[in-house]
Structure 1
Amino acid sequence: MSKIDFDSINSAARSSFERVLANLLPDGRIEGGEYVARNPTRADSRPGSFKVNIATGMWSDFATGDSGNDPVNLYAYVKGMKQSEAARELAKMVGVAPTTDTGICTIRTAQRARENGGAQRKSKSDWLPIVPVPDDAPAPPRTHFRHGAPAATWPYKDQNGALLGYVCRFDVEGGKQVLPLIFCSQRDNRQWRWQSWSVPRPLYGLDTLAAAPEASVLIVEGEKAAEAAGVLSNNTMVVITWPGGSKAISKIDWNPLKGRRVCIWPDNDEPGFKAALDIASKAQEVGFTLVGVVLPSADWEKAADIADFASQWTTTDFHQEIKTRKVDVEVFRAEASKRYDIDGGSTAPSQNNSLQFLLRTDGVYFVGHDEDGIPKPPEWVCSPLKVLARTRDEEGKNWGRLLEIVDPDGKTHTWAMPMDMTAGNGDTYRGQLLSFGLRLAAGKYGKSRLHMYLTQYETVGRARCVSRNGWHSGCFVLPDKTYGDTAGEHVVYQGLLHENLFREQGSLADWQENVGCYCVGNSRFAFAVSAAFAGPLLKLVHGEGGGFHFYGGSSVGKTTIVEVAGSVCGGGGDKGFVKQWRSTDNALEGLAYLHNDGLLVLDEVGQAQAKVAGETAYMLANGQGKSRASKTGAARNVATWCLVFLSTGELTMADKIAEDGRKAMAGQSVRVVDIPADAGKGMKTLEALHTFASGGELANHFKAASKRFYGTPLRAFLSTLTSEPEKAAQRVTQHMEAFCKRYVPDGADGQVSRVARRFGLVAAAGELATEYSVLPWPTGEATRAAATCFAAWLNCRGGVGSAELSAGIEQVVSFFQAHGASRFEDTETDTLRTVINRVGYLKTIRGERCFCVFPSAFRREVCNGYDSSMLAKALADKRLLYADKGRNTKNVWVDGKTVAFVVLSYSILGVNDANGVNAVESIEENSLTLPEAEVRSARRNAGDGAEPSHSSHVPCMNREGEMDGNSNALHAIHSLHTENSQSENKKTHPDSPSPANIQEGRDWHYAEDGTKRVAII
């Protein structure tokens, strides 16, 4: 086993030390027995402080306190490398073997250590820096023992403003000396020392960098230049520098620049250019974005920096210099090679050396070569266009390029271009680039060279692409911004950029003061605004999408409701975020995809075809488009989404679907629920006017304000939501469960509970936005609005039973009301009458007139489109259909024989016959509560003497997601059915019990006065 022989290497180096020193420190000179040179590890303007003993190899920098004992140690210090690496390089220089036998080396090393008192110690003194400087530290010295008082002193501070030390500049004969001054400790001693910080060293300006997290950063060389640039910039950017000069780049902690946009302004000399390239190489390692390097003019004086122009330039001049001189790092690298023969690498990232592209301030240039390999003059290809990174999706597919385009106004646009766009003639991607303001060279070579540049330009950057808005792992993507945890990877929207739906204008405070605050007390507006925040929550709580349809007469204010809701998400243009129903189902599918995990607003369903409206209701809520085949016949990827949508129209969705003779299925009524736009307060959609004189005045204000201020509420909501998605999901789930528990009546059909969860989601979304200080509402406002709209939907629906059952019974009743006895042959009249399209007989059974319907006619006509068995059972439960046990039919004697009929009570017509048989139930369409007298009567007739309370207070959810238990309001939705006998000769129902007793039979309650009632509470 071998080990580095430091003794042999040092001995060989001392024998030719002058040659070694001339190579290592070429600008030095011999003074007596010492070699005096500038210290290359710091900004040392002239020789004097840094000296090396030629005989022993011991060295010291009297300005900083750094010192060492041998040539290897000196070599390691100057080169900034480890002792072992320095020994190997120095051995090669002096021509000796770097290693020897382990045992011999160990003995020699130990002997040398004893003789020299530890010559292998570190190059730094054993004084250790104390950072930050403690409060009880003594005042720093005012003068240097050799240079006197400093001409300038710059304090270095950390991110919190705590002092780390100083850098002092001394004006000395023939130049300057720049020395660090830091507070140190050595065992029990503490004092200020003229030495530098331990590696990695801090940046100058950390306190201002931390105070402006969104500001751009300018890096200059030297504290004097940094101070001058800070004044000239007028605090429009953060200016920083580093200690130690151009050769100390590797010793600096650059990590505070992570995530920042950085521009570099180097000194106008070779060390300055080298330093700029070294800093630029840190961009990918640290994670900052290098936006460019300021290229100093070749006409400027050597080593000129910003401080040399401080007295000549204004702030405008300063910014103009940056704008006109800033170039891409590849252009700067080429210029550095040209001016100073700096090996900065190739300026042509292309793997084909005959095809090179240069990036300059005015655009991309193509550099060709002649037959002898000599470069031709650069030819302009297009305006500024940078390839920032390669993009690919989570599966490593759909590769693309992340591009940065600068338009003629100087505005920067970023676009992730899919590489599959380059497969054809390129018209698609060129059209998109041109729409961003890219200018392309004319002639036959412009298009081909642009194509060549985009497909062959190599870049080491990587980014993850997504093809739609919404949640992607832990982050939420909008076309122009990504929120949340990207797992350390840049995530971008990739694809053709259609109109950005999520534009913003004004501040959040503007929207709150002019739009949001006036929604309080106006249930339709508050509910619609809350719904705008519900889309991003769907996936967090595994909820299902769906819609809310505001219906009502013309000019009632339906569109204003959805315009206000849309202003939460975006706007711009005449209709803002609102889209129109007047589209094909394919177009609506595309719209849904673009609104994934968000809100879709569709105005005026009356413009859509009935077929499109019905099918779209299913499609939007189900979150899946049509299956289509590709050119090869294989199935394409099906578009999917998850969203909440708002709709408006003069008709209910069911009435719209019925325009072409279709029937609205229960699934459609569950997926899109109808809410009357009129709030019932005599002010159309409004209930509270606030400071406005009339409803029209407030409505006009809503319209105008939602067009001026938009987009900021959703972005503020996403900023907080994406920082705590798990916590938000838990809170929302608690809200939804509490809402359903409080507002869904006992025994309600599953369809009602399903819709209630969506109302609960909207309530939770509004409460969460209030908690995040996005909505300027009192706690509980969103819940009150959702409860009111839920009640309105139930009243519109007609109860809490099954929608299919209610619609089916309505179908049966409508059949008999439309035809009466005209299609039934009366078996008990002497009048001869021809019955056309007979469906049965009219016959008295046990003293009651009944319709005896042929079973086939009952299925085909009376129950057309519905389950006849289900309806027969429901009608039997309501005592409107009589059947034999275990059957839906009853045997009846007709024309001398027994025939099976579906037998229904004549009372299904809803009118009294000659015998005084009563009509069927009627439904009271109240809003949230019943008149007190009717509720009390219903309670008494049902055998419940409790008196319900009618407080107008509506409970809300507390911060734990539970319902406020202090409310005594009646929140159940009431539906009262009455059937009163108007005949003087009242008869009890043929199947009813004795009037002396009150007996409950399913929904019906029979009272002593012969009245049949039901109160679902």
Structure 2
Amino acid sequence: MVGYVARWPASDAEPEHVAHITYCALGQGKRAWRMKPMPSPRPLFDLAAILSRPVASVLVCPDEWSMDAAAMLLPDMVATTTAQDPKSPASTDFGPLAGHPVVLAPTVGREGQAWADMMANLLAKAGVRDVKVLDMAGVAGSMGRELSSSDEWGLADAVDGGLAAEALATLMSTDPELIRFHVDERQKRATEVMLHSDTTPMTEESLSLFRSDATGVYKLVERQESGETIREYVRFCSPLTVVAETRDGDGRNWGRLLCVVDRDNIRKEWAMPMEQLAGDGINYRSELLSMGLTIGSARKAREFLHEFISSERPKEKARCVPRTGWHGRAYVSVNETLRPGQDAQERLLLQTTVPPDHPFRMAGDLAAWQDEIARYAIGNSRLGLALSAAFAAPLLYPLDAEGGGFHLRGGSSTGKSTALAVGGSVWGGGGLNGFLRTWRATSNGLEGVAALHCDALLCLDEMGQVDGREAGAIAYMLANGSGKSRAGRTGEARSSASWRVLFLSSGEVGLADKLADDGRGRRAAAGQEVRIVDIPADAGAGFGLFENLHAFGSADAFARHLKSAAARHYGHASRAFLKVVVERFDDIQQEARFLCDRFVRDHCPEGADGQISRVAARFGLIAAAGEIARDAGILPWPEGEAMRAAGVCFNGWLAQRGGIEPAEERDAIARVRHFIELHGASRFELMGAGLEPHPDMRVTHRAGFRAGDAAKGYEYIVLPEVWKADICTGMDVTFVTKTLAQRGFLRVGSDGKAQTKRRLPGFEGPVRCYVIRSSIMGEASH
């Protein structure tokens, strides 16, 4: 508590008296209550209630009497007032009201209007963009009171006159204009001119070409009547404001920040590129209509709208960006821009050809999310990984880390989608699928989705739905952070979409299986497997994805609880985390790098290939993000829980990978072994003393010869062209040959070359060939 405000009425000829009583420092270590002003900026009354209800409407009253009356008449709103004379509220801190819908409750009359105008101006400077006013004259009229402009009549008078909360609620439901957007005195005078402009003579030079008010937008037009030119305003659309001019950092991609007020009095903003005005403008009008703008049906109305947007020159300018995520030290999301408190640069906006359809919504509250979702990840490695990955996405830029994804692979009903729903709840939700997207899309279609999720988490459910031919392309595209290069109409190169994204994926099959399901025998390249890290969804504890059911009766009941909670509480955790990173960017950068390096040192096997260390670094980023979110008070976990969960999942990936050698070497050996397993008897002709083929066994499409016996093992002698065209097809022949020679699976000639000379049946002289030792089949079980 800062202090008390004493306010008491004076005589009719004098204003009311206001005094502050504060707990002051008197010197020499003494403190006591004294009648001294509060220090500026002064807090709003009942600030704790405002902060505890972050989405509630706030009713700002001129004084405490009105506030007490508001608490009785409008209990769904949080009532507050300033700590000084209503005529001088400038020393109040209105910052906590940013993000709240605010309703002013002025008294009737000129002084009330002046107070409302002054408050609206101060609130706008504090970042409050949704300011409405309660029409007390309308309330008085419903009670049968006739008031003049000199009467000072407000909420306290309404309660004294017998107004009840139920009667006011009924009045508000029948009269939607009782609470409307604030219009100051100057705008009201302009509206009167517009509404009665049919008699305005042409000599009225003060009239501008366009005028707007709470009823809509008007254009000044001329018409002839009885030989006289009459100028009048004609309405062509509902309320629309050009708030700011936009352009990018290079002075290109100019646009307009448009604000539409729909029929529910809800304000919606869209940063529209000016290129939308090219042609007949049907595309931008379609989007404005979808946002709730109403446009006159006549052709002139469309022309007036086009001219209005083109010609308006607002004083405010803003920088536009084509994607969400980090831009310097500022983080641009679909809904807002977060920047350090001392950063006073101009506004940053996401500018798109259409208002984006996005899942970055908020519901519930952070405390409930922590209690009903986050705490249940303790002891569950896959849930811990999903939540930590959600916080790791905005750390890609500070750590200059590469993008990529984690794929939870397992059978149906193991809980894969639950993990994605839990991770997605950090960023948003709502709708039928919450924050989840689907793999069922082309790589082109996912470009826009990736750009919208730049420096945020992307959740892709059910890899089985995507065509096998697209799976590999999507994996490369998402991790590489760049879309296709395309040409314009005249052949010039157009800028391609770019992003940084970390994604979670799920499916009953992994990437390698998906690539092979088209029947062409394709295998996942090593780069693809590093970009999408394949993790077994089954944690091995007998509960599918889970290791700890936290007193729930079954894995199914636990999963249903998590999904239900994720549908009610979402979007708050990411915003809280981003605020921490924005304000402590350098500290977070250093801490995350330290934790990531520590994870790699502790978990990456000695002598492991570079592909292993790349994947370990990504798991380290996940672990670091989880620990930082825990230190920030967002994840209610014990210290080290994020490190533990990431370590368990990394070890699971490493175990199923089958070794620490490069994936390309493993694939080369597997390719040769597979060919021998498939064609060992049918395409390799027996040779040597005592080796007679069975009379019913015919060798067709001969690949080479077999020498040796079943007891000691065969050597497979492969002819050179078969080696290149059949066995090593689609792979680097030199790399395969070198790998097998280094591992001892290929007999090297006396001259050190990979090919050896052999006398073979049907050939006149020695033939150079590749001799594969039988030991390659001995590794088939490893």
1:842 aligned onto 2:699: no
SS at structure 1 position matched to 2:434: coil
1:648 aligned onto 2:506: yes
Taking structure 1 as reference, are residues 264 and 332 closer, same or farther at Cα in structure 2, changes over 3 Å only? Answer: farther
SS at structure 2 position matched to 1:900: strand
Tell me how far apart the structure 2 counterparts of residues 202 and 302 of structure 1 sit (CA, whole Å). Answer: 35
Deviation at 1:402, TM superposition (A): 2.7
1:171 aligned onto 2:8: no
Taking structure 1 as reference, are residues 849 and 612 closer, same or farther at Cα in structure 2, changes over 3 Å only? Answer: closer
* 1:241-280 to 2 correspondences below 5 Å: 253=90, 256-257=93-94
Out of 76, 80, 85, which is 1:238 matched to?
80
1:763 aligned onto 2:610: no
What residue identity is the alignment partner of 2:547? Answer: E
Alpha-carbon RMSD: 3.9
Q: What does residue 482 of structure 1 align with? A: 337
What residue identity is the alignment partner of 2:253? Answer: N
Structure 2 contact 130–267 (Cα < 8 Å) conserved: no
Taking structure 1 as reference, are residues 474 and 337 closer, same or farther at Cα in structure 2, changes over 3 Å only? Answer: same
1:887 aligned onto 2:768: no
Taking structure 1 as reference, are residues 483 and 849 closer, same or farther at Cα in structure 2, changes over 3 Å only? Answer: same
Q: What does residue 137 of structure 1 align with? A: none
Deviation at 1:891, TM superposition (A): 3.2
Q: What does residue 369 of structure 2 align with? A: 511
Number of residue pairs matched?
Answer: 717
Q: What does residue 723 of structure 1 align with? A: 583
Out of 315, 339, 348, which is 1:491 matched to?
348
Deviation at 1:426, TM superposition (A): 2.7
Tell me how far apart the structure 1 counterparts of residues 559 and 130 of structure 2 sit (CA, whole Å). Answer: 49
* 1:846-925 to 2 correspondences below 5 Å: 849-883=714-748, 884-894=750-760, 897-908=765-776, 910=777, 919-920=778-779, 922-923=781-782
Deviation at 1:689, TM superposition (A): 1.7
Instruction: Please give the per-residue CA displacement for 1:849-881, whole angstroms capped at 9, x wherever unaligned.
Output: 533322333233233333333333333343332
Tell me how far apart the structure 1 counterparts of residues 58 and 413 of structure 2 sit (CA, whole Å). Answer: 54
Instruction: Please give the per-residue CA displacement for 1:241-268, whole angstroms capped at 9, x wherever unaligned.
Output: 86596xxx7xx85574468567777776
Structure 1 contact 889–903 (Cα < 8 Å) conserved: yes
Structure 1 contact 825–842 (Cα < 8 Å) conserved: yes
SS at structure 1 position matched to 2:397: coil
SS at structure 2 position matched to 1:391: strand
Tell me how far apart the structure 1 counterparts of residues 205 and 774 of structure 2 sit (CA, whole Å). Answer: 91
Higher mean Cα deviation, 857-866 or 683-692?
A: 857-866
Instruction: Please give the per-residue CA displacement for 1:21-63, whole angstroms capped at 9, x wherever unaligned.
Output: xxxxxxxxxxxxxxxxxxxxxxxxxxxxxxxxxxxxxxxxxxx
- Normalising by structure 1, we get a TM-score of 0.64
Tell me how far apart the structure 2 counterparts of residues 570 and 278 of structure 1 sit (CA, whole Å). Answer: 36
Deviation at 1:791, TM superposition (A): 1.5
Instruction: Please give the per-residue CA displacement for 1:796-816, whole angstroms capped at 9, x wherever unaligned.
Output: 211110101001101111122
The percentage of aligned residue pairs carrying the same residue is: 37
- Mind listing any 5+ residue stretches in structure 2 that lack a counterpart? 22-34, 72-76, 139-145, 194-199
Instruction: Please give the per-residue CA displacement for 1:211-268, whole angstroms capped at 9, x wherever unaligned.
Output: 6577888787xxxx523332233272433386596xxx7xx85574468567777776
1:466 aligned onto 2:321: yes
Deviation at 1:325, TM superposition (A): 6.9
* 1:4-19 to 2 correspondences below 5 Å: none
Taking structure 1 as reference, are residues 829 and 863 closer, same or farther at Cα in structure 2, changes over 3 Å only? Answer: farther
* 1:174-253 to 2 correspondences below 5 Å: 175-176=13-14, 206=43, 208=45, 212=50, 226-234=63-71, 236-240=78-82, 253=90
* 1:349-360 to 2 correspondences below 5 Å: 353=207, 355-360=209-214
Tell me how far apart the structure 2 counterparts of residues 533 and 746 of structure 1 sit (CA, whole Å). Answer: 29
Instruction: Please give the per-residue CA displacement for 1:359-378, whole angstroms capped at 9, x wherever unaligned.
Output: 03x434445455667553x5
Structure 1 contact 571–710 (Cα < 8 Å) conserved: yes
1:576 aligned onto 2:414: no
* 1:943-958 to 2 correspondences below 5 Å: none
Tell me how far apart the structure 1 counterparts of residues 9 and 559 of structure 2 sit (CA, whole Å). Answer: 67
Out of 617, 639, 656, which is 1:779 matched to?
639
Taking structure 1 as reference, are residues 303 and 799 closer, same or farther at Cα in structure 2, changes over 3 Å only? Answer: same
Tell me how far apart the structure 1 counterparts of residues 687 and 84 of structure 2 sit (CA, whole Å). Answer: 107
Instruction: Please give the per-residue CA displacement for 1:636-657, whole angstroms capped at 9, x wherever unaligned.
Output: 1100111111222222211211
Taking structure 1 as reference, are residues 804 and 325 closer, same or farther at Cα in structure 2, changes over 3 Å only? Answer: closer
Structure 2 contact 41–92 (Cα < 8 Å) conserved: no
Q: What does residue 594 of structure 1 align with? A: 452
Q: What does residue 433 of structure 1 align with? A: 288
Out of 231, 241, 249, which is 1:394 matched to?
249
Tell me how far apart the structure 2 counterparts of residues 566 and 722 of structure 1 sit (CA, whole Å). Answer: 21
Tell me how far apart the structure 2 counterparts of residues 815 and 407 of structure 1 sit (CA, whole Å). Answer: 67
Out of 589, 611, 619, which is 2:469 matched to?
611
Taking structure 1 as reference, are residues 244 and 760 closer, same or farther at Cα in structure 2, changes over 3 Å only? Answer: closer
What residue identity is the alignment partner of 1:305? Answer: E
Deviation at 1:510, TM superposition (A): 2.4
Q: What does residue 820 of structure 1 align with? A: 680
SS at structure 1 position matched to 2:260: strand
Tell me how far apart the structure 2 counterparts of residues 259 and 399 of structure 1 sit (CA, whole Å). Answer: 32
What residue identity is the alignment partner of 2:152? Answer: D
Tell me how far apart the structure 1 counterparts of residues 92 and 129 of structure 2 sit (CA, whole Å). Answer: 12
Tell me how far apart the structure 2 counterparts of residues 287 and 707 of structure 1 sit (CA, whole Å). Answer: 30
SS at structure 2 position matched to 1:902: strand
Q: What does residue 413 of structure 2 align with? A: 555
Q: What does residue 411 of structure 1 align with? A: 266
Out of 169, 178, 181, which is 1:324 matched to?
178
* 1:697-716 to 2 correspondences below 5 Å: 697-716=557-576
Structure 2 contact 41–93 (Cα < 8 Å) conserved: no
Out of 354, 363, 371, which is 2:216 matched to?
363
Taking structure 1 as reference, are residues 851 and 590 closer, same or farther at Cα in structure 2, changes over 3 Å only? Answer: same
Q: What does residue 829 of structure 1 align with? A: 690
SS at structure 2 position matched to 1:533: helix
Structure 2 contact 686–692 (Cα < 8 Å) conserved: no
1:291 aligned onto 2:131: yes
Out of 355, 358, 372, which is 1:500 matched to?
358
Structure 2 contact 113–184 (Cα < 8 Å) conserved: no
* 1:443-454 to 2 correspondences below 5 Å: 443-454=298-309
Taking structure 1 as reference, are residues 854 and 497 closer, same or farther at Cα in structure 2, changes over 3 Å only? Answer: same
Tell me how far apart the structure 2 counterparts of residues 204 and 669 of structure 1 sit (CA, whole Å). Answer: 56
What residue identity is the alignment partner of 1:827? Answer: G
What residue identity is the alignment partner of 2:216? Answer: G
Structure with the bigger RCO (C-alpha within 8 Å, sep 6+) is 2
SS at structure 2 position matched to 1:876: helix
Tell me how far apart the structure 2 counterparts of residues 472 and 255 of structure 1 sit (CA, whole Å). Answer: 32
Taking structure 1 as reference, are residues 277 and 680 closer, same or farther at Cα in structure 2, changes over 3 Å only? Answer: closer
Deviation at 1:903, TM superposition (A): 2.1
Out of 304, 323, 348, which is 2:151 matched to?
304
Structure 2 contact 363–571 (Cα < 8 Å) conserved: yes
Tell me how far apart the structure 2 counterparts of residues 336 and 306 of structure 1 sit (CA, whole Å). Answer: 26
Structure 1 contact 391–463 (Cα < 8 Å) conserved: yes
SS at structure 1 position matched to 2:178: helix
Structure 2 contact 44–83 (Cα < 8 Å) conserved: no
Tell me how far apart the structure 2 counterparts of residues 400 and 412 of structure 1 sit (CA, whole Å). Answer: 19
Tell me how far apart the structure 1 counterparts of residues 316 and 176 of structure 2 sit (CA, whole Å). Answer: 25
Structure 1 contact 825–838 (Cα < 8 Å) conserved: no
Taking structure 1 as reference, are residues 901 and 672 closer, same or farther at Cα in structure 2, changes over 3 Å only? Answer: same
Taking structure 1 as reference, are residues 638 and 259 closer, same or farther at Cα in structure 2, changes over 3 Å only? Answer: farther
Taking structure 1 as reference, are residues 882 and 289 closer, same or farther at Cα in structure 2, changes over 3 Å only? Answer: closer
What residue identity is the alignment partner of 1:752? Answer: I
Q: What does residue 83 of structure 1 align with? A: none
